[in-house]
Chains A and B, each alone.
Chain A
């Protein structure tokens, strides 16, 4: 059959029809109305008990960590966040009228928390964990709003993100939301005890633990089928919080509580990397809430009865396999981590109990040598010097191989030198 003019017209008509339908659907899917600006509410218009509750919630939600730049004003944004999709800058959530959320109504704030949409109708990037905050209750969102709106307003304009094209085009996020945003206020499970329900709410919604501890798929969505199976954040492993947790001695709820409160537990390790600030904030959170979080996380791990076998330490065997690593360890590490070192007398965990030594990949063992452990300014806590400039990639690799062989009975990590080079890149401040 030959193509006639009328055939072509028909095809063109159908195609343009399809195009119009697609465009309209796209518009409907991606259009979000602006929510009218309001006069900035007077701080005195918020009840002080609501503000105080908001402060407590904001602490557990860790807002200050992402929304404050290094040395910058609290909540004024500007912190660079390295993601697999480029660098994002957090925004100003102080009540500044021009550059912050001063003219956002509670409705606009609630929509941002629940739907990931800014007051002006533009989509927010899911580095802001609205896929967790969407589960918050109304009174909690209201209290968080009250706390933020009573902070000091800081003039701090948003910085330009550096994302891989075309991700700067925000309407694309409508598609992401369709796939990965599962809305609905968190509901208690009648089968669970009260504290577990409280813990579940805090872990799943406010504290957004899964944002780091759940693996993400190629599009950056959390893999729901593998909740808490462990993820990666800022170049560090966020260890699994389910049965596959690598701890030598299974965590108890009490130990998780101690760790979250103080940043260290005798039978495990120190909170390092992005987990450090989390424990700084939880040190000031209500103890009952931190206990609830600990109880819930312990219930996710459900490991067999605690095994208090003696810590592994095989110096001769390890030195034979990695003689260079043994020398480096003796010179750089043993002063604190070796048997009889002063630090070991203070109840610090031996390396054989430290999770980074036991994980399936060496990322954290490498990162902790490269970056060390440094508590937030003004906060007391364990310190380990950063040795990133002290050692070459090959030397770090030797050291890590030696530590794995000496303090665990697990198989050697492969291709360590390449892993060190990669860890340096991933851990660099963007």
Chain B
């Protein structure tokens, strides 16, 4: 079955069963390998992407449910040459150890910053609660998010 999905502002024709998870389509069909397969059960957050601005587990999102909605992955945020402020902050804080969870962490954090540019500590922590990092770099991840949350208007990182 051919379905059209919009990822990072571009429409893509995808040939897949409508119950296929968005994660598989992103990685296998569109070769957007930022989002990772961790548990496949919505319990770790490594596959987190944004749909209509909200952070979701792409491993639990059937393709059929994506039609007409806008998907954004870490590849839509910035490039190695031109990183987004949040990506830059993750680099400055050296927030990645093995890096497996980081794309998901960034996409979840960005969803918060997009609706609330200056979240408080409680808001950051409860928002990030569902994404896990097995290396234990949570403190660095939180520092990176805080770094962006504290930017004054017009200030760059």
Contact = CB atoms under 8 A, between A and B. Distances in A.
B65 interface: yes
Given A331-B19, A383-B43, A389 B65 contact: no
Interface string A323-362: 0100110111001100000000000000000000000000
Contacts, number: 59
B126 A331 contact: no
B61 interface: yes
Interface string B14-54: 00001111000000000000000000111100000001001
A328 B65 contact: yes
A349 to B, nearest CB: 17
Q: Which of A70, A71, A332 has the most CB of B within 10 A?
A: A332
B41 A389 contact: no
Contact of B63 (A324, A331, A335, A390): A331
A390 B130 CA distance: 14
A176 interface: no
B57 to A, nearest CB: 6
Given A70-B126, A71-B125, A395-B65, A385 B54 contact: no
Contact of B60 (A324, A383, A387, A392): A387
A327 B51 contact: no
Interface string A124-142: 0000000000000000000
Contacts of A385: 41-43, 57, 60, 130
Contacts of A331: 18-21, 60-65
A343 to B, nearest CB: 8
B51 A390 contact: yes
Nearest to A395: B65
B124 to A, nearest CB: 12
A387 B122 CA distance: 22
Contacts of B64: 324, 327-328, 331
B89 interface: no
B56 interface: yes
A80 to B, nearest CB: 13
Interface residues of A, number: 20
A25 to B, nearest CB: 48
B130 A332 contact: no
Contacts of A324: 64
Interface string A66-84: 0000110000000000000
Interface in A293-335: 324, 327-328, 330-332, 335
Contacts of B41: 335-336, 385
B54 A389 contact: yes
Given A330-B19, A389-B55, A71 B126 contact: yes
Contacts of B42: 384-385, 387
B122 A327 contact: no
A385 B64 CA distance: 19
Contact of B62 (A71, A328, A386): A328
Contacts of A19: none
Interface in A96-113: none
Interface in B59-77: 60-65, 69
Contact of B56 (A71, A328, A384, A389): A389
A389 B49 CA distance: 11
Given A71-B126, A327-B64, A386-B130, 15 more contacts: A70-B126, A327-B62, A330-B19, A331-B18, A331-B20, A332-B65, A336-B41, A383-B43, A384-B42, A385-B43, A385-B57, A387-B60, A389-B51, A390-B65, A392-B65
Interface of A: 70-71, 324, 327-328, 330-332, 335-336, 383-387, 389-392, 395
14 contacts: A70-B122, A327-B18, A327-B19, A328-B62, A330-B19, A331-B20, A332-B60, A332-B61, A332-B62, A383-B43, A387-B42, A387-B60, A389-B51, A390-B51
